[in-house]
Amino acid sequence: MIFQCKNPISIQNSILLLRLPDQFRAWDSLTIYLTLNGFHFNIYPIFCFGGRLIFGPDARSLFLTVIILLFLTSSQDPGIIPRNLNPSDGDGSSMSTDWQAIHGVGSSLPPMKDVLVNGIVVKIKYCQTCMLYRPPRCSHCSVCNNCVERFDHHCPWVGQCIGKRNYRFFSMFLSSTTMLCLYVFACCWLNVWRIMGIYDCNLGRAFLKSPFSGILILYTFVCYWFVGGLTAFHLYLTCTNQTTYENFRYRHDGKMNPYNLGCVNNFIDIFFSEVPKSKNSFREKIKGDSY
């Protein structure tokens, strides 16, 4: 039986949201044929909540997910803190003398200050490039030459710093890339196994009939250990609410992590908290005396 659905359809990643009439919700199996802009899809969905939520397993959307997350990671402001363009005006104290002290005039400015974070004393440093005291968990990136909030690392693969505003996208990019590698790896082996069955040949001849399967198997196997290892490492960092910089810089200090809220709360804090607004206006016109 063919049912032509005119109800609103929303496809987000691999989730299909579709309102079905009551008589179809009782079916144990249903094949949905979609035609979207000339593309035809056969979907064998999984029903939840009486057919109100249908999960359509279409792994082809995984590749698009990876591309979107890569774009979000590389294009987002990672949390750059604007430089103090008027150090003589100060940050609430007599910064005119502080700024002079940094450059060798007058009394010396303390290079570090102590602040309390969740009842634990944390030291913050003065950045002589940006001319401000860095907030906790902030560090100056030597590649971008900017102070970045919750600085994790500078990733050359995405050409961007990973910080407070784009870390969740970077972490999801790693995990989705790992799943994509596993999916391609498994599908290539299934294709080789199918060729062996059809032509009744051994593994070597199957690879000769489908050389791209062999190339992709080797490529995804190597990539999996790279991105899979990074995914596991950042999963550990998320569970303990650490950054890569903190893990390598302070691992031998033996101090309690003041930012660790517990595994569940750490996940909520990193993935489900509101992304703070950028402190920079990249479309603002640069004045001649801003350098």
**Environment class of residue 94 by beta-carbon count within 10 Å: exposed (0-12), middle (13-18) or buried (19+)?**
exposed
Find tokens 């000339």 and name the residue. Answer: 38
Secondary structure in 3-state letters for 45-107: CEEECCCCEEECCCCHHHHHHHHHHHHHHHHCCCCEECCCCCCCCCCCCCHHHHHHHHCCCCC
CA distance 161 to 144: 7
Task: Say how far apart CA 274 and CA 57 lie, in whole Å.
Answer: 29
Cα 278 → chain centroid: 17
- Is 155 catalytic? The answer is yes
* Token pair for 20: 């079905």
For residue 285, the one-letter residue type is: K
- Active-site option among 138, 155, 161, 181: 155
Token pair of 63, please?
Answer: 């590749």
Whole-angstrom distance, CA of residue 64 vs CA of residue 13: 8
| Size (the chain), residues | 291
Q: Specify whether the CB–CB gap between 81 and 147 falls below 8 A.
A: yes
Instruction: For residue 76, count CB atoms less than 10 angstroms from its CB and return exposed for 0-12, middle for 13-18, buried for 19 or more.
Output: buried
Q: Active-site residues: which are they? A: 155
